[in-house]
Amino acid sequence: MARSGPAGAVEAVRRFNRYYTRRIGILEEGWLGSDLTLAETRVLWELGHAPGSTASVLAGDLGLDAGYLSRILRGFRTRGYLEARPAPGDGRVRHLALTPRGRRLLAPLEERSSAQVRAMLAPLAAPRRARLLDAMAAVQDLLGADEPVDAGPGRDASVVLRAPRAGDFGWVVERHGAVYAREYGWDTRFEGLVAKIVGDFLAAQPDASRERAWIAERAGERVGCVFLVRRSAATAQLRLLLVEPSARGKGVGSSLVDACVDFARSAGYSSIVLWTQSVLRAARAIYAAKGFRRVASEKHAEFGTPLTGETWKLDLAPLRAPAK
């Protein structure tokens, strides 16, 4: 059957959907060996990773009918998995969070999900794994699957993360130069370093299965960026994290770092390193919250002012073959 025509394309997509839902066990009675449905598990995950969210935000992020979501949440409260607290200053709004019992339920499900993916990837040699990750990235890109920033207290759910487009790389250089000159007095040598990093990234024609960049966008306006590049076969490097002043305090930086960590882990890296400065307190707080640790520091004046550069590192759990 030809796949180029509308009918052939529809059937090809439906055939893939049938294959993949069977491959990852969506049709099983309990998801990941639990007594939860797939929708319930997805809601549980959102509550565990975005504590303080509201029912309306969850419904929008997950694309669930409000009534259906309400029944799931009511069931969670009945079973002691969920608590709802009035929002400060507005008792009509309820912030949702998992109880200790709910977190104990979620933890093994996350491990089983990771184990399922590891088992699926383990038989693939590196080139075939790279092809698979490339294909997944292509599906997301072609269908316009921008990644929403996790919604939670103080987080802006209208921000999405996307792949860079034409013009974005020049913006990255310009904004780094302007923001750091204004806020920290760094001279044009810093902008030159950023230009070199971006130029090297483009000149190397990065392997999409091992290196990526993200642009954070809100209402069509760029508000942040980050790059993850190959440092060695086992180590990735996080570079050029930036959040515009107008978008700070809304979870954008945290989501950009999460994107790097998730991608590095799926790409098979065993660690991530980064170089930052002691004066960048907000960025350092994000790194510490994600499990990075400072491993080295040195004083320098490379950008026209005395600074203390710091190297931070995050160790990642390697992909493991399934037990025989």
Q: What pLDDT is recorded for position 186?
A: 95
**Residue of 323 and 52 predicted with greater confidence:** 52
Structure-token pair, residue 254: 């945290």
Q: Is residue 304 part of a domain?
A: yes
192 and 117 assigned to the same domain: no
**Kindly report the CA angle at 169 between 264 and 271, in degrees rounded to 5?**
15
Output the pLDDT for position 214: 95
Task: For residue 1, tell me if it sits in a domain.
Answer: no
Q: Which of 38-52, 75-89, 275-289 has the highest mean pLDDT?
A: 275-289
Is there a single domain that holds both residue 113 and residue 56? yes
C-beta atoms surrounding 114 within 10 Å: 14
The reply to whether 35 and 69 lie within a common domain is: yes
For residue 139, tell me if it sits in a domain. Answer: no
3-state secondary structure of 16: helix
Judged on CB neighbours under 10 Å (0-12, 13-18, 19+), 90 is: exposed
Task: Count structural domains, the chain.
Answer: 2
Residue 131 lies in a domain: no
**How confident is residue 257, by pLDDT bands cut at 50, 70 and 90?**
very high
Q: Clarify whether residues 156 and 287 are in a common domain.
A: yes
User: Residue 103 is part of a domain; what is its CATH number?
Assistant: 1.10.10.10
Render pLDDT for 126-142 as a digit per residue (tens, 0 to 9).
888 878 876 776 676 56
Distance CA 253, CA 256 (A): 5
C-alpha span between 28 and 37 (Å, rounded): 9
The pTM for the full model equals 0.55
Closest CA to 193 of 309, 78, 290: 309
Shared domain for 173 and 296, answered yes or no, is: yes
Domain-located, residue 302? yes
In-domain check, residue 324: no
C-beta neighbour count of 295 within 10 angstroms:
10
**129 is a domain residue:** no
Query: Are residue 94 and residue 186 in the same domain, yes or no?
Result: no
Q: Which domain range does residue 172 map to? A: 147-315
